[in-house]
Amino acid sequence: MKSLAAFLRQSGDLRRFGFGVIWTTMGSVAVRLTPLVTTILISRWFGIEVVGEFAVAYGTLMSAGMLAATGVSLMAIRNIAAEADRAPEFAGRIAGLAIMLTAGSGLLLASVFFFFAEPIASGMLKHPELAPFLAIIAPAILLNAMSQVQIAILTGLQKFRSIAHLNIAYGAALILAVPAGLWLYGLAGCFIAMALATLGLGLSAYPVMRRALAERGITVTFAGALSEWPLITKFALPALLASLLFEPVNWICTAIIVATPNGLAEAGVYYIAMQVETLLLFVPQVVVQVVIPMLSKGFGDRDRGRVLTVIGMSVGTNALIALGFMGVMFLFGSLVLDLFRLDLEQHWPVFVLAVANAAVMSLAAPLGPIPASSGYTWTGLGITAGWATMFIAGTWLLREQGAEGAFTARLIAWSAQSVIYVFFTHYAVRAVCGQRAA
């Protein structure tokens, strides 16, 4: 305990962690609340089936945007956080590489959903009326991906205050524009408003990112960026493959539900439960955003004390948050269901599963970045593959139970993955940072 206390006094990790959580929370509030507020408005104005339509289109936007950016973003965060001070030219090439790869993958995915909206809606989803919404959100996929990768570079630099300022402006634009678009033009207006707000975020983030890099003596370099291609296979490729397994899973499970009888209504219930889960995971996910660069720095320096301290702070913080939110949600759950105009007796089991799964996810969340942060990205891919397989297979087997079946499968999959993460974290700390000094 004395050595831990001395470490905390001598380092800025605790202060960096605390201020990072505070600034990131402030910046994320409006952004994270927008889907929740939009879902409440849709459920009250238009009904649960329209919530299902929104869930499919919005899920497509988020899954495709994250698929285009997540693998590259993790590569950028990890390498910029670890090498910015020691190798600024290298960090500049990594920033350029990340932007180029994200632009290419985002453009590809946007083109797929724009040109194949009708066959996807009619064939895969069995609801051709969804095709116009898939086409509308296609440009926003590219915009979302480009915004994410710029935020990732700022995260690698631990510029949490700058990220917060950007997200506050972005969230304010979303909160004002999305309900207005929904009221005036329905779901089409809602998605157009999202795209315009995301465009504003991307245009605003670029000069902020350039200035933050310049402060560290780093210049975004596109020429020669592809010379760092080994990092694509070491970090970006496995992270991208993990994204291929992780990001579309919710979309696939939603598609399984939508294709069943009364599918849009069940998809609406599933999406509302996901919003409840997102509300519970709000701060725990903020904690994860803060610790990724800190873990990357700790593993990069082979600093066992720093790594264990960051893990301890993040898991402890999330455990307290999970317990508090579980208590609040179980006390006031009936009011939450009434807010979405859901039937308490019929939908209470789905709500309970969502809250329980959120608690499990919040405890496991800080351990999720450890494979990539410690250099075992391919192992992380294997863990994610197991989770994805279990979740999708469970949803398929329980598809007749609709939203309840999907959340049962989700809880089982996340519980199993959490156990695996605990054992892997123990292994990674020993393997990278060595044994504890005698």
pTM over the 0.85 mark: no
pLDDT tens over the chain, length 438 residues: 444 444 444 455 556 556 555 655 655 666 666 777 777 888 888 887 888 888 888 877 777 777 777 667 777 777 777 767 777 788 788 888 888 888 888 898 889 889 988 888 887 777 788 888 888 888 988 998 899 889 888 888 878 778 888 888 888 888 888 888 888 888 888 889 889 988 999 999 999 988 988 888 888 777 665 655 555 555 556 655 665 666 678 778 888 888 887 888 888 888 888 877 877 777 677 677 777 777 777 777 777 877 888 888 888 877 887 787 778 777 877 787 787 777 777 888 888 888 888 888 888 888 877 887 777 777 877 888 888 889 999 999 998 888 899 999 999 999 998 899 889 888 888 887 876 543
Rounded alpha-carbon distances, angstroms, from residue 342 to 79, 325, 401: 46, 20, 17
Which pLDDT score is estimated for 436? 54
DSSP states of 381-436: HHHHHHHHHHHHHHHHHTGGGHHHHHHHHHHHHHHHHHHHHHHHHHHHHHHHH-SP
Of the candidates 424, 413, 416, 423, the residue with the CA atom closest to the CA atom of residue 378: 424
What pLDDT, on a 0 to 100 scale, did the predictor assign at position 10?
A: 44
| Residues comprising the chain, all counted | 438
| 3-state DSSP assignment of residue 47 | coil
